[in-house]
Amino acid sequence: MRNKGFTIIEVLTVVIIIGMLAVFVVPRMFKGLGKARRDIAKSKMALIESALGRFFYDCGRFPSQDEGLEALLVPPADLEEKWNGSYLKQSDLLDPWGNPYEYVAEGEINMGSYDLISYGADGMEGGQEGTDDEDIYND
């Protein structure tokens, strides 16, 4: 009478195949996740840009550097009569990594306008291109 079951060779073969799949497939899945977060950051920037456009239309100017993006949530003291917000929710001002977007009133990247910046996963200026730490700017 023969016992039914798997031999050690068969079990090791399956373990090796699963290990190889993990080595080649898992990194690609995580790379796609990073790209998705960068795409979400760009989409949220477009939402902030739209809110800044409505703020400009109502108030006749963009928020100052001191007011920052908070001016989209709370009316600046000199604009309470013109301000017609709240233009966004507080959560819209956070990038996909939970860091606040940076607002530069006198844009360095977008001369003559403003800059919006997400510093990526590390939350610090200057990340390596193509990684989650890459800095993302509005167009």
Reading phi first (left if > 0) and then psi (alpha if -120 to 50, else beta), residue 68 is in left
Report d(CA 121, CA 119) in Å as an integer: 7
Where b means 16+ CB within 10 Å and e means fewer, 83-122 reads bebebbeeeebebbbebebbbbeebeeeeeebbbbbbbbb
Where b means 16+ CB within 10 Å and e means fewer, 11-21 reads eeeeeeeeeee
Averaged in consecutive runs of 10 residues, what is the pLDDT profile of the chain (139 residues)? 76 88 73 76 92 93 92 90 89 92 86 86 79 82
- All structural domains of the chain with their residue ranges: 27-137
Superfamily grouping for domain 27-137: Glycoprotein, Type 4 Pilin (3.30.700.10)
Is 105 in contact with 98 (CB distance < 8 Å)? no
What is the model's pLDDT at position 1?
A: 56
What is the model's pLDDT at position 29?
A: 66
pTM of the complete model beyond 0.75 = no
